[in-house]
C-alpha cells in the first residue's frame, strides 16, 4: 500500500499577531513548518510528502521542505484563497499510484507516528478516517445575555471529540473530495467534505500533544514543551565516487590542477574528490545526491568544473540552514601522492564550503596490490553538518 501526505501550510497564519506567518516561526532549532513536514516523513509507511505554502514563499519553502522530508519530498504547490483550494492544489501533485493520502496541518508539529499510522489503517479499511482527541472536561452549553454568560445545559462529553489531523482518505474517496473542493461552499476540514458527500468517517485515537498552534499562548506552550528535549542540530552524510584514469584528460583533485600524464574519465572534469564531497554534504542535508542536481545525461555539465558544482550544491545546503562542522576524506590511488597535495586541496574545498581548512582532513591510501583498483582513483567522504 502506497501512502503520501499533503502538508497544508497555504494560509497566512496571522492570528499570532506578527508580520510573519506562523508556519515560519521558529520552534526550537527549526520552524513549525519544518517540524510538521519531518514528523510526517518519519513514518516508514509514508512514501512521500507534498507541501502547500503561500505563493510568495514557494522558493524558500522548497529548500526547507526538501531537507525536512529527508528524501521523501514529492513537490510543492502554491496555496489558494481558501483552505480547500490550497489542499486541492497539493492533492494535484500526489502521484496517481497512491492508495491512501493523508492531509495534515502544518500548524500541528507534534503529531506522532502511531497517530499517523492509525489514520492510515482507518482510511485503508473504511475509506475515510480522522484523528480525534477525547474530551475529558465536563462540557457546558453557554448562552450570552445582557447580564453575562450563563450555563444553559450540560452536554454529554462521551459523544464529543476534538478534530485533529492527519485526516486520511482512500483513493476512491479522494477523487470525490477533489471535485467537492471546487464548490463555493467552504469547509473547515476535509472530513466535513467527506461527510457532506455521504461517507462515514472513522474516528481514530489522536494524541493530546498533537495540538494546533494558533495563538501566542499555544506557541509559548510548544516552546516550553521543547525546552527539555531539543532535537539534534547535527547531521552526517556519506559520499563516494570513483573514476578511471584516461589519456587526454587533465587531472583535477579537489579543485586543484595536478600535473600528470593522464586525468580522470568522466562527464564533467572527473574530479572524484569534489563529487564525493558534494554527495556527502547533500546527503547530510537530505537534499539528494549530485546526480539529482547535475545529471551526467545533461550536456550542460559536460566537462564542467566540479568545484563550481560543489559550490552550487553547498549553496542549497547553506540555504537550508546548515554549515560544515567538519569533513573527512580518504583518497585511494597509487598516483599521485595525496600527501603533498593535501594542504592545497583543503584550502580549495574550504573556500567552496564557506569554512576553514582546519575543519577538513584528507588522507591518501594505496590499493595495496588490489589489481582491480590499479588504474582508478576512489574517494570516500564523511561530512558533519551543524546548525
Domain ranges of the chain: 3-227, 234-386
The CATH fold assigned to 3-227 is Spore Coat Polysaccharide Biosynthesis Protein SpsA; Chain A (3.90.550)
Instruction: Read off the pLDDT of residues 113-141 as tens digits, 9 standing for 90 and up.
Output: 999 999 999 999 999 999 999 998 999 99
Q: Are 180 and 196 in contact (CB under 8 A)?
A: yes
Residue 221: its pLDDT value, please?
86
Quick one: average pLDDT of 66-85? Answer: 92
Q: Quick one: which H or E segment has residue 234?
A: strand 234-246
With H, G, I as helix, E, B as strand and everything else as coil, classify residue 65. Answer: helix
Q: Is 159 helix (H, G, I), strand (E, B) or coil?
A: helix
| Residue 208 near residue 161, CB atoms below 8 Å | no
Average of per-residue pLDDT values in the chain: 91
Distance, CA of 280 to CA of 286 (rounded, Å): 10
Measuring CA to CA, which residue among 295, 301, 342, 294 is closest to residue 315?
294
**pLDDT the model gives residue 69:** 92
Question: Of the given ranges (156-160, 337-341, 377-381), which has the lowest mean pLDDT?
Answer: 156-160
pLDDT tier, 11 (very low <50, low <70, confident <90, very high otherwise)? confident
Q: What pTM value is reported for the model?
A: 0.60
Distance from C-alpha of 82 to C-alpha of 61, rounded to nearest angstrom: 19
Where does the chain have alpha helices with state H? 32-41, 58-69, 83-91, 113-126, 171-180, 190-196, 216-227, 272-284, 290-293, 306-319, 342-352
What are the residues whose beta carbons fall under 8 Å from the beta carbon of 12, sequence distance 6 or more? 21, 54
Half-sphere exposure of 335 (CA within 13 A, CB side): 7
Q: Which cell numbers hold the place of 305?
A: 568544473
Contact 237, 320 (CB under 8 A): no
Confidence of residue 18 (pLDDT cuts 50, 70, 90): low
Which cell numbers hold the place of 349?
A: 574545498
Instruction: Decide whether 3-227 matches 234-386 in CATH topology.
Output: no
Q: What is the C-alpha to C-alpha distance for residues 331 and 339, in angstroms, rounded to an integer?
A: 10
Mean pLDDT along residues 244-259: 94
| CATH 3.30.1330.50 assigned to 234-386 | yes
The rounded distance, in Å, linking the Cα atoms of 170 and 148 is 47
Amino acid at each position: 500500500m502506497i501512502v503520501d501526505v499533503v502538508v497544508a501550510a497555504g494560509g497566512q497564519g496571522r492570528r499570532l499577531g506578527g508580520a510573519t506567518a506562523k508556519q515560519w516561526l521558529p520552534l526550537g532549532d527549526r520552524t513549525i513548518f519544518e517540524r510538521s513536514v519531518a514528523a510526517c516523513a518519519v513514518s516508514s509507511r509514508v512514501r512521500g510528502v507534498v507541501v502547500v505554502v503561500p505563493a510568495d514563499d514557494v522558493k524558500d519553502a522548497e529548500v526547507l521542505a526538501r531537507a525536512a522530508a529527508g528524501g521523501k519530498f514529492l513537490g510543492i504547490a502554491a496555496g489558494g484563497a481558501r483552505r480547500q483550494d490550497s489542499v486541492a492544489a497539493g492533492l494535484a501533485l500526489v502521484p496517481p499510484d497512491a492508495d491512501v493520502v493523508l492531509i495534515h496541518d502544518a500548524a500541528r508539529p507534534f503529531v506522532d507516528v502511531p497517530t499517523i499510522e492509525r489514520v492510515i489503517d482507518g482510511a485503508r479499511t473504511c475509506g475515510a478516517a480522522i484523528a480525534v482527541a477525547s474530551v475529558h472536561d465536563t462540557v457546558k452549553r453557554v448562552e450570552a445575555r445582557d447580564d453575562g454568560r450563563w450555563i444553559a445545559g450540560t452536554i454529554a462529553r462521551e459523544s464529543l471529540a476534538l478534530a485533529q489531523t492527519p485526516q486520511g482518505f482512500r483513493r476512491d474517496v479522494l477523487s470525490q473530495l477533489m471535485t467537492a473542493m471546487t464548490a463555493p461552499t467552504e469547509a473547515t476540514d476535509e472530513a466535513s467534505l467527506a461527510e457532506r458527500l455521504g461517507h462515514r468517517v472513522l474516528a481514530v485515537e489522536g494524541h493530546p500533544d498533537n495540538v494546533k498552534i494558533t495563538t501566542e499562548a499555544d506557541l509559548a506552550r510548544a516552546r516550553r514543551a521543547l525546552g527539555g528535549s531539543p532535537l539534534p542540530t547535527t547531521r552526517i552524510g556519506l559520499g563516494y565516487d570513483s573514476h578511471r584514469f584516461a589519456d587526454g584528460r587533465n587531472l583535477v583533485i579537489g579543485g586543484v590542477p595536478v600535473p600528470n600524464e593522464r586525468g580522470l574519465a568522466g562527464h564533467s572534469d572527473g574530479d572524484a574528490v569534489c563529487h564525493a564531497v558534494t554527495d556527502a554534504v547533500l546527503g547530510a542535508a537530505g537534499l539528494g545526491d549530485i546526480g539529482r542536481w547535475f545529471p551526467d545525461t545533461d550536456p550542460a555539465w559536460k566537462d564542467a568544473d566540479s568545484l563550481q558544482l560543489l559550490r552550487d550544491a553547498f549553496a542549497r545546503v547553506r540555504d537550508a540552514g546548515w554549515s560544515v562542522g567538519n569533513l573527512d576524506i580518504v583518497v585511494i590511488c597509487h598516483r599521485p601522492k595525496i600527501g603533498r597535495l593535501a594542504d592545497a586541496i583543503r584550502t580549495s574545498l574550504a573556500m567552496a564550503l564557506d569554512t576553514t581548512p582546519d575543519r577538513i582532513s584528507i588522507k591518501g591510501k594505496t590499493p595495496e596490490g588490489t589489481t582491480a583498483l590499479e588504474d582508478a582513483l576512489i574517494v570516500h567522504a564523511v561530512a558533519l553538518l551543524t546548525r
